Amino acid sequence: MKKFNALSLARQAMIAAIYAALTLLLYPISFGSAQCRVSEALTVLPYFSPLCTLGLAVGCFCSNIIGGFGILDGVLGTLATAISGVLTSKIKNKYLAPLPPVIVNALIIPIVIVFATSPDNFLPVYLINVLQIGLGQLLSCYLLGLPLMGLIRKHGLERFLK
């Protein structure tokens, strides 16, 4: 892995800005129990470089604090994105690379939603949200993220992520 320098920081800032902008521009489908964040397609980027985890986590934090369920969403959503990024960076199979964000977000984000909406019925509401969030993540990460990986490879853009 390359050393982290000013250029790397600028690249991560751009990833963060793109993630946050996509999330907030598509607000109606980016938040809630039935969400499909287009920005989650970017969670495949750590497949090319673990450094991308930083940009994704910062972008997630900014968008969740501004538009989500507040500090709980900011902390847990960012944690889910960071864990997903670390796991994705360790996967060598491109077809499995989108899987960590699907699984991790499906398990963590429903906790935020349940506490923000109906903490009295934790288990049933949690399980329903696991399915809903998981489906949204599956759509974002596989239907958008996998083709994004192909475009990055096809046009030799991996070098810009390092």
- What the block records as the tokens of 107 is 């398990």
Residue-by-residue pLDDT tens, the chain, 162 positions:
557 789 999 999 999 999 999 999 999 999 988 899 999 999 999 999 999 999 999 999 999 999 878 899 999 999 999 999 999 999 999 999 999 999 999 999 999 999 888 788 899 999 999 999 999 999 999 999 999 999 999 999 998 898
pTM above 0.85, yes or no: yes
d(CA 162, CA 160): 6
Q: What is the pLDDT of residue 130?
A: 97
The Cα-based distances of 63 to 9, 39, 152, 162 in angstroms read 19, 10, 24, 24
Q: What is the pLDDT of residue 129?
A: 95
For CA atoms 82, 84, 89, 90, the dihedral sign is positive
Q: What is the pLDDT of residue 2?
A: 58
Residue ranges of the domains in the chain?
A: 6-27+35-161
The Cα-based distances of 68 to 33, 79, 148 in angstroms read 11, 14, 25
